[in-house]
Structure 1
Amino acid sequence: MEYRRLGKSGLKISALSFGSWVTFGKQVDINIAKVLIKSAYDAGVNFFDNAEGYMAGASEKIMGDAISALGFPRSSYIVSSKVFWGGSLPTQKGLSAKHVRDACDAALTRLKVDYLDLYFCHRPDIDTPISETVRAMDNLVRQGKVLYWGTSEWSSQQITEAHLIAEREHLTPPTMEQPQYNMLARQRFEQEYLPLYENFGMGTTIFSPLRSGILTGKYVDGIPENSRLSLEGYENLRNQLLKDDGTADTVRQLMHLASELNVSMANLAIAWTLKNPNVSTAILGASKLNQLQENLQALDVLPLLTPDVMENIERILNNKPAGPERY
């Protein structure tokens, strides 16, 4: 396993991490969770990602029960939660000081830990001043309930405002952002966020490096039975991802390149994200052990991504954001 600094912080985080979005509580129960988490941990993964909004907290409870049963030393792993979607009542959602505190306490209970290593604002909240959220996060850090706080899918402008407020008020600034980043979604990460890496040393914990499975190639000829996009409740995600926009043809070309390199399409896609030095860690999601074990081999593909191979990938993707070359 390779370990990278989380931005300019001193925290060393595994380049590959394991998250519970979509799978825990839907496809993964406590028994499967223990097998998957142990396999990831044994491979060197030290970051496990979660959120209050994943299966209405059930995902956090499964992860907390699994890690507790496995008996990992608390000093050996990093665990996260995210705050925004905690319930249907007005005080159970958003980023108000009340919900930020209540959600943190609930996450600590479900995950069976005394503190969260990473705590994310799951989305921006237009109804709460950013200054209120920054102060709420700073309070949690001072209380020892949170070590590092960050954002997820905030705009560069919103994150910059949070940093300026923190500097002005002598509060703890955000350390990391959790954005989507993959071969098919690049604009924000590679272009909009560039000033954040350079000016604030922001770290990143990217999600969906496989574009919810699209970049494995398994959806190029339709939706397999029992796959993620076949599940009830994910119709919107399915409709969003499986548009007839030429993506299938792009993936087929990438699959051909992966075959020439003698690697899986999934590992090519994951390794491609890690080629970007602004990626602190790429969060993997899996419901089956063989799927996780295969994806954990993505680091082995990095040496194969020579300048010529990267150029071939760019030619196939044809979606590089405008701007100066940075990596």
Structure 2
Amino acid sequence: MQYKNLGRSGLKVSQLSYGSWVTFGNQLDVKEAKAILQCCRDKGVNFFDNAEVYANGRAEEIMGQAIKELGWKRSDIVVSTKIFWGGPGPNDKGLSRKHILEGTKNCLKRLDMDYVDVLLCHRPDATTPIEETVRAMNYVIDKGWAYYWGTSEWSPQQITEAWGVAQRLDLVGPVVEEPEYNLFSRQRVESEYLHLCSNYGIGLATWSPLASGILTGKYNSGHIPPDSRFALENYKNLATRSLVDDSLRKVEKLKPIAQELGVSLPQLAIAWCAANPDVSTVLTGATKLSQIEENMKAVNVIPLLTPSVMEKIESVVQNKPKRPDSYR
């Protein structure tokens, strides 16, 4: 496993990491989570991601209890969680100072930790001034509840505004953005965020490298495996949107490229994401130890992605975003 700085910060994260979305609390409890997390650690993973909204807080409880029972040294791992959807009340969601402070304390209580390494704003909040959010995130850092802060699915304009506020007030700006990134979702990472990475040193912790499982090759238009996330009641709408014929055809054409390299399609897809120099870490998800074993071998595939191999991949997906004029 290689370790990269999270953007321009001094924090080092494993090139591949583990996210608990969908799995913890929905598919896995503490016993299974312990096995998954330990397998990740054995493969060199040090970065583990969560959010207050995952399984309505249960994901944080499971991760915290599992880490405690495993007896890990806290300084050996990097834990992140995200704030936005904390409950049904009018002040239980969003990025107001009130919810950021109260929500962070609740996250720490569920995780049974004194601090998280990275606290992220899970979505932008159009009803709260960005200055209020930036000040609140800095208060959290000053209190030692988090060491760094970042964003998830914010627009380039919103992140730029946050950095402008931070610079004007001599505060800490966001060091990381968590966007979706895979062979079917590329526009933001490869085009829109370029100036953020160069101007502000923003790191990218990308999620959904397998496009919610489509890039595993296990789906076809008439079959959804019963143990897959698309079979879960809460994710059937996502399946309807994602399992389109064009994407499935491209997956079939990607399989021979993986076979030529002697690797699996998931390994190829994850390695492709990690090969982007602006990506600090790729968040992977898994419910089985065999999936962890499979996914983590992607680190060995990255060196195999020569320019000619990347061209073959591009010829299949045919969706490379146009770069801004100033970055051509």
Asked if structure 2 preserves the Cα contact closer than 8 Å seen for 1:217 and 1:265, the reply is yes
CA drift at 1:324: 6.8
CA drift at 1:236: 2.1
Partner of 1:45: 45
The separation in 1 between residues aligned to 2:33 and 2:50, in whole angstroms, is 13
Report how many residues are paired.
Answer: 326
Kindly indicate whether residue 117 of structure 2 is the aligned counterpart of residue 106 of structure 1: no
Q: How does 1:136-215 map to 2 (within 5 A)?
A: 136-215=136-215
Structure 1: state its 5+ residue gaps: none
The separation in 1 between residues aligned to 2:240 and 2:86, in whole angstroms, is 25
- Secondary structure in structure 2 of the residue aligned to 1:65: helix
Deviations 1:248-268 (A, max 9, x none): 110000012111211000000
- Secondary structure in structure 2 of the residue aligned to 1:149: strand
Partner of 2:233: 232
Asked if structure 1 preserves the Cα contact closer than 8 Å seen for 2:116 and 2:146, the reply is yes
- Secondary structure in structure 1 of the residue aligned to 2:91: helix
Asked if structure 2 preserves the Cα contact closer than 8 Å seen for 1:220 and 1:251, the reply is no
Q: How does 1:128-139 map to 2 (within 5 A)?
A: 128-139=128-139
Deviations 1:46-81 (A, max 9, x none): 000000010100000000000000000011000011
**Most deviating of 114-123 and 221-230:** 221-230
The separation in 2 between residues aligned to 1:6 and 1:296, in whole angstroms, is 19
CA drift at 1:276: 0.3
Deviations 1:90-131 (A, max 9, x none): 010000000001111011111111111000000000110111
Deviations 1:28-52 (A, max 9, x none): 1111000000010111100000000
The separation in 2 between residues aligned to 1:300 and 1:95, in whole angstroms, is 39
Partner of 1:262: 262
The separation in 1 between residues aligned to 2:136 and 2:302, in whole angstroms, is 40
**Most deviating of 130-139 and 317-326:** 317-326
Amino acid in structure 2 at the alignment position of 1:277: P
Amino acid in structure 2 at the alignment position of 1:104: T
Asked if structure 1 preserves the Cα contact closer than 8 Å seen for 2:220 and 2:243, the reply is no
Amino acid in structure 1 at the alignment position of 2:86: G
Q: How does 1:226-305 map to 2 (within 5 A)?
A: 226-244=227-245, 246-305=246-305
The percentage of counterpart residues that share the same residue type is 53
The separation in 2 between residues aligned to 1:21 and 1:94, in whole angstroms, is 19
Structure 1 vs Structure 2 CA RMSD:
1.3
Q: How does 1:55-66 map to 2 (within 5 A)?
A: 55-66=55-66
The separation in 2 between residues aligned to 1:264 and 1:220, in whole angstroms, is 17
Asked if structure 2 preserves the Cα contact closer than 8 Å seen for 1:183 and 1:269, the reply is yes
Q: Which runs of 4+ in 1 moved over 4 A?
A: 324-327
- Secondary structure in structure 2 of the residue aligned to 1:282: strand
- Secondary structure in structure 2 of the residue aligned to 1:233: helix
Structure 2: state its 5+ residue gaps: none
